[in-house]
Structure 1
Amino acid sequence: MMNIFTARNDSGETFTITKMNVERIKQEEKLYCKSCASPVMIKAGVIKVPHFAHEKATKCAFASEGESEEHLLAKRQIMEWFCYQGIPVEVEHYFPEINRQADIFMNNKRVIEFQRSSVPINEMIQRTMDYLSIGLEVHWILGQKIKKEKGRICLSAFQQAFIDSDYKLGYHFWHYSVESKLCTLYYHLTFEKGNCFFASEMKLSMKLPLNEWKQKLSRIIHRSAYIKRDRELERQKICFYYAKFKKHSTFMQKLYNAGYYLHYLPKEIGLDFEEQFLVKTPAIEWQFDLWEHFFKRLEKGDTFSEHSFLEEFQLVVNQIPTIWLSPNEHLKLGKSYLAYLIREGVLSTIPENRYRMKRIMTFTTTRMKQL
């Protein structure tokens, strides 16, 4: 059966079912799906969340077929919290002009989508664009469990798609736990390595009123992300990883064919930066490609523009898809690499967003594969 929370009667009156109003709704002779107009029945057991189900198999695109009990319960809990604040709210509101149905629709202007199961990220992006096209604000809340490891959070590629950026909060995202009825803001996300981030957390109970949430959020202050890194040790670990697990990869084959040995590449290749999570391409791979196709062709004293560098940078990286971040967000990674090369004395800045090669990136040893 396909499940929904809202239905209408013959008069067009809308009902959102809860444990409190089940008996009242049962008095209605006929109830219909608001989206497809097919007949629905009440399903209100002892354990499951009360809901409506289509009486017959239907192709209704907006019924919550396959939604877990946790997803249904999350929508219910969020709706009840807004009701507690006296904020107008509706679950499963249908927008015919874009053929979309929102999990939560509040204040007649904001849509909240709760996502527990992994779906194609492009689908979430398109849904967001559709809501924006009719003048609605859109908020996404992640419902999947967040893995934690030694003081860090580990985010899958799907979970990283929820990351947004803000001056005060930095990189951040919202999470909701049905079990604990806690909404958690993970903010000031700082990439460490792999899929691991350092993050600050603010847990906000659904038992607290909205004004207390706002007071807590107002205490967050802007700060710049920083991780003290041992660049030499990181390079050693990366080389060990590729030698053991990636020795047959396309990248290692490319190095071999070009006559290069991984451990002896210039020390400026293979460095993770805080923005590395914005691209799928491993640092050592995109930095090697930049060196081979851009920096290796420059001599000491040569100059180039930031624009030309970023054009080349975009050719060697594959950015991650996200719901909210700018399509150009990954360029911050390229600019961080430029800043690093300036600090290391490889580059110097000159007017009009241009750079001069102060020295050439050299191999850490002269040993190369003998051809």
Structure 2
Amino acid sequence: MFVALRENGEYLSLVEKWERSDLLELRSHVTFHCPACQSKVQLKAGLKKTPHFAHLKGVECTVKTEPESEYHLAGKRQLFQWFQTQGYDVKLEPFLPEISQRPDLLVTTSNKRFAIEYQCSQLDYPLFKKRSDSYKKEGIVPIWILGAKWFKRMSTHSVKLSPFQWLFATSFNQPIQPCILYYCPDTSTFLKLSNLHSFTTGEVFCSICFYKEKGVSFLNLLEPYNHPFTLHHVWGRKKQKWRASYSIYNSNHLSSFLTTLYQKRIPPAYLPGEAGLPVPSSYWFHTPPMIWQMWILLDLLLQLRKGEPFFFSTVMEVISKRIDSKDIVIRQLPLVSHTQYSLAVEEYLQVLVKAGSLKKISKTKYEKTKDFIIPMSLEVASAMDEKMLASVGKHEENGLVQDNIGRDLNRD
């Protein structure tokens, strides 16, 4: 906590630089109170940590907050100063009595208010959603920024994202794909993940961009990142690896999937090329595309005869049943409100139409135009993947380009 209420009713902010001697003098004769719960707080001005206020031992604030590390305090202070230098009306830790919440920062522009939450510790989904929904009800736009220590890079174009990190996926400009923001106070650098394409439950292909604090404005940071790229090359290599060693990607919902494949005498390494294709809205699925798309093939498309029609609603019934049986898991994305997982399913069918596997008869009606082939070797499977992904690549509109000033923030 950087802000406290003095005995005389004035607020004291520690975001500006104070001499330690002045703070010690102030502490000796002034009593401070929490702006939210009005209980006494103590001014801590040690030699190691950033000066801050803290509730007395055993006193629990009525506004639920997490313990703040030095990393968190530094980041919050820097973000406050970053908004100030851009001329924004920004308040530090203001208490909002109408919703009993205290955002890290409250930024007011000519027509909007933004609640900036800088999160460095784990937060469970119910509390995250409650806070976000409360801001929205008051007409305040929640902007959640992760501490960059959460950033885990796996390769040039992929990162590891936990379910917790996925909560931060936000669509700032509808209907643009969501992105995730990080901030590192040690290097004064923003990190932005865009064009999120899940491959497994944890690994995600994406655009990875780094922005120095002094080189980017708030509005620029919220703008979409649109650079052309070819995703299918990196996706194809990863898909080949999955085919050759699918067992290492084992998860709870893979057991039922493998059992069904064996019952239908389909080796997991020899899934048809139509399974496991990247689609823009696949971020809605926690279940990997190799699996949720194959369920559509197993439960419907493989059973249809060539030339047989079907409706989009039938595909959604297949998905719904697999969700009910927990064979398919949908992500919890409280900050993405303009789409739902049905869009990813529709995009998948559109890809199959473009590849010539399906024909779209009307807005909701499709027809199977050719049989789906089960490959008999990894070589044939790889060739099928390349053909399908090349077809997808012709229609890609998103970009996977890494900013050339990018660097790993995990060294600290």
TM-score, normalising length: structure 2: 0.75
**Does 1:181 find its partner at 2:181?**
no
Which stretch of structure 1 is more off in the superposition, 173-182 or 76-85?
76-85
Paired with 1:351 and 1:78, the residues of 2 have a C-alpha distance of 50
Structure ranking higher on relative contact order (CA contacts 8 Å, 6+ apart)? 2
Matched, 1:49 2:56: no
- 8 Å Cα contact 1:190/1:226 also seen in 2: no
2:409 aligns with none
Q: Distance in 2 between matches of 1:137 and 1:167?
A: 13
Q: What CA distance in whole angstroms lies between the structure 2 residues aligned with 1:301 and 1:21?
A: 79
- Which residue, 349, 354, 358 being the options, matches 1:338? 349
SS in structure 2 at match of 1:94:
coil
The structure carrying a bigger helix percent of its residues is 2
Cα distance change on mapping 1:36 and 1:231 into 2, 3 Å? closer
Q: Are positions 1:312 and 2:318 aligned together?
A: yes
Deviation at residue 86 of structure 1 after TM alignment: 4.2
Cα distance, 1:167 vs structure 2: 6.2
Q: Report the 3-state secondary structure (helix = DSSP H, G, I; strand = E; otherwise coil) of the residue aligned with 2:93.
A: strand
Question: Could you tell me how far apart the structure 1 residues matched to 2:226 and 2:278 are?
Answer: 23
Per-residue deviation at 1:263? 3.9
The answer for the alignment partner of 2:212 in structure 1 is 204
Does 2:273 align with 1:262? no
For residues 56 and 369 of structure 2, the distance between their equivalents in structure 1, rounded to whole angstroms, comes to 75
CA distance in structure 2 between the partners assigned to 1:21 and 1:86 by the alignment: 26
Q: Could you say what the CA RMSD is over the residues aligned between the two structures, in angstroms?
A: 3.4
CA apart distance, 1:61: 4.1
Question: Structure 1 residue 220: deviation in Å?
Answer: 6.9
Structure 1 residues 170 and 281: alpha-carbon distance in aligned structure 2, compared to 1, 3 A threshold: closer
Q: TM-score, with normalisation over the residues of structure 1?
A: 0.82
Deviations 1:300-349 (A, max 9, x none): 22212223323433443322122322374433321232123223322111
The number of aligned residues is 359
Q: Describe the shift of the 1:101–1:21 C-alpha distance in structure 2 as closer, same or farther (beyond 3 A).
A: farther
Counterpart secondary structure, 1:289: helix
Higher strand share: 1
Map Cα deviations across residues 207-228 of structure 1 (whole Å, 9 max, x no partner). 46xxx62696699774566413
Shift of 1:62: 3.5
Do the aligned residues in 1 keep the contact of 2:145 with 2:181 (CA within 8 Å)?
yes
**Which residue, out of 327, 338, 360, partners 1:349?**
360
Q: Check conservation: 2:152, 2:160, Cα contact below 8 A.
A: yes
Contact map agreement 2:115 2:142 (CA 8 A) in 1: yes
In the alignment, which residue of structure 1 is the partner of 2:12? 15
Give, in whole Å, the separation in 2 of the partners of 1:230 and 1:203. Answer: 25
- Report the AA paired with residue 4 of structure 2: A
User: How do residues 24-103 of structure 1 correspond to structure 2 at under 5 angstroms?
Assistant: 25-26=26-27, 29-62=30-63, 66-103=67-104
Counterpart of 1:45 in 2: which secondary structure?
A: coil
1:294 to 292, 296, 300: 300
Which deviates the most, 283-292 or 167-176?
Answer: 167-176
- 1:242 paired to 2:249: no
User: Which secondary structure state, in structure 2, belongs to the residue aligned with residue 326 of structure 1?
Assistant: coil
Give the Cα–Cα distance (whole angstroms) in 1 for the partners of residues 273 and 41 of structure 2: 66
| SS in structure 2 at match of 1:73 | helix
Evaluate the alpha carbon distance shift between residue 329 and residue 28 of structure 1 in structure 2; reply closer, same or farther with a 3 A threshold.
farther
Stretches of structure 1 that go unaligned for 5 or more consecutive residues are 367-371
Q: Does 1:130 align with 2:134?
A: yes
- Write the distance in 2 (CA, Å) between the matches of 1:285 and 1:90: 47
Residues 301 and 356 in structure 1, CA contact (< 8 A), matched pair in contact too: yes
Residue number among 185, 195, 198 corresponding to 2:203 in the alignment: 195
**Conserved 8 A contact 2:42-2:53:** yes
Counterpart for residue 140 of structure 1 = 144
